[in-house]
């Protein structure tokens, strides 16, 4: 009997231990999976779940979102953070409606050609929605593969071609099994092979893990520090957008001025929102979410 591979062990563990998440349900289509992958970027699952459910209840198809105003996407995005993702998702839905008759494409190149869809998201949709053999590499997968296959504590902060190659080498040849393995690697990296306190005692690949066999060597080089939020332009942008999301009419500047006391930073944050297409300036020193008209 052939020896169990890393992928075999991961799939076996995943089938018994995977979190019950709506985008993993058999009836979750490609659009729902695409929405979930965009929302989950730099955002924890617990915050994404209510936003995901509300989003799909309002826009169950790309065409439904494309027919609405981009400002409504920003409004529905709420406090998920990085609101440009909402704008990109609206642009993506519009492209799907116009180029692909409202159906999320299953071809990797076609997915990569969609606005706001990068290497990770395209491969995630191809693997999880269309059950293709694709190396799906996010921060968690990169760390899991680096430890299990190469003995390193981590593979760095950005995905490199070598990360895709290393992950692909672990995937089974059969596409359906490869898609299961991709999901399992991601789940293991998220809940077991975590960055600071890995739970090696319950890891299904512990006996095959090169990092554990090497004595769990420490990460070389500087560690990645969490980005501060309080007092940054990001915080000011969020406060300004919160006022605009809650307004049903254009907002005068005087209402925006009260959200942050320092005028230079407030002006810079507002200008950044305008430049990013997240806010439309109107005559009379009024501001609103973009209409797309």
| Residues paired with residue 246 on neighbouring β-strands, in sequence order | none
> What gap in Å lies between CA 251 and CA 264, rounded to an integer?
19
Three-state secondary-structure class, residue 33: helix
The yes-or-no answer on residue 53 being catalytic is no
- What is the separation of C-alpha 256 from the centre of its chain, rounded to a whole number of angstroms? 30
Tokens of 130: 């269309």
Do residues 163 and 137 lie in contact, with contact meaning Cβ atoms separated by under 8 Å?
yes
Complete DSSP assignment for 255-266: HHHTT-S-HHHH
Q: What is the dihedral of CA 251, 232, 158, 39, to 10 degrees?
A: -40
Residue keyed to tokens 């869809």: 117
Catalytic residue (one of 37, 72, 91, 187): 37
Q: Provide the Cα torsion 126, 98, 87, 249; round to 10°.
A: -150
**Beta-ladder partners of 282:** 286
User: What are the angstrom distances between the C-alpha of 29 and each of 26, 40, 60, 114, 288?
Assistant: 8, 17, 10, 17, 33
Find out whether 40 and 57 touch, Cβ atoms under 8 Å: no
Active site residues: 37
């Amino acid at each position: 009997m052939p020896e169990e591979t890393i992928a075999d062990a991961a799939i076996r563990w995943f089938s018994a231990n995977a979190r019950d998440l709506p985008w993993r349900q058999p009836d979750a289509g490609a659009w729902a999976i695409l929405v979930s992958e965009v929302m989950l970027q730099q955002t924890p699952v617990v915050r994404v779940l209510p936003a995901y459910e509300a989003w799909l209840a309002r826009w169950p198809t790309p065409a439904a979102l494309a027919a609405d105003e981009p400002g409504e996407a920003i409004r529905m995005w709420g406090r998920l953070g990085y609101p440009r993702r909402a704008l990109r998702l609206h642009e993506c839905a519009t492209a799907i409606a116009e180029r692909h008759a409202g159906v999320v494409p299953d071809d990797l190149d076609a997915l990569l050609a969609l606005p706001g869809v990068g290497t990770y998201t395209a491969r995630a949709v191809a693997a999880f929605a269309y059950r293709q053999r694709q190396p799906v590499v996010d921060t968690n997968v990169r760390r899991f593969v680096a430890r299990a296959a190469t003995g390193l504590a981590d593979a760095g902060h950005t995905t490199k071609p070598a990360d895709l190659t290393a992950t692909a080498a672990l995937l089974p040849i059969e596409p359906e099994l490869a898609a299961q393995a991709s999901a399992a690697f991601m789940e293991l990296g998220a809940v077991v092979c975590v960055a600071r306190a890995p739970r090696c005692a319950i890891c299904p690949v512990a006996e095959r893990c090169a990092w554990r066999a090497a004595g769990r060597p420490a990460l070389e080089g500087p560690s990645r520090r969490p980005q501060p939020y309080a007092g940054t332009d990001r915080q000011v942008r969020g406060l300004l957008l919160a006022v605009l999301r809650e307004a049903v009419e254009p907002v005068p500047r005087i209402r925006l001025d009260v959200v942050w006391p320092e005028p230079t930073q407030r002006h810079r944050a507002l200008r950044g929102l305008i430049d990013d297409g997240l806010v439309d300036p109107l005559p009379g020193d009024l501001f609103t979410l973009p209409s797309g008209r």
